[in-house]
Amino acid sequence: MQQILPVLGYIAAIFAFVLGGVLIARRFGWDAEMNTWVHLSRQFWNRRNLSGK
């Protein structure tokens, strides 16, 4: 049980960091730009995964 606590803390810290980043991005209006990057990276990964099959 004691070994899992640092892992949970680490995951919680990453989650909080990502959530804070998203909120800051929304506040400054960067979310549209980030959505474009996410869309492009998803297309790239989908192409790679399809070509792998």
Q: pLDDT tens, 15-49? A: 999 999 888 877 877 667 777 877 888 887 777 77
Residue 14 clears pLDDT 80, i.e. is over it: yes
Helices (H) and strands (E) in the chain, counts: 2, 0
Q: Which residue has the tokens 């297309």?
A: 43
Q: How many domains does the chain have?
A: 1
Model-level pTM? 0.45
How many degrees, rounded to 5, is the angle at CA 10 between CA 38 and CA 4? 130
Q: Which helix (DSSP H) or strand (DSSP E) does residue 12 occupy?
A: helix 4-28
pLDDT of res. 8: 93
User: Domain range for residue 20?
Assistant: 4-52
pLDDT of res. 12: 95
pLDDT of res. 51: 64
Can you read off the two tokens belonging to residue 45?
């990964």
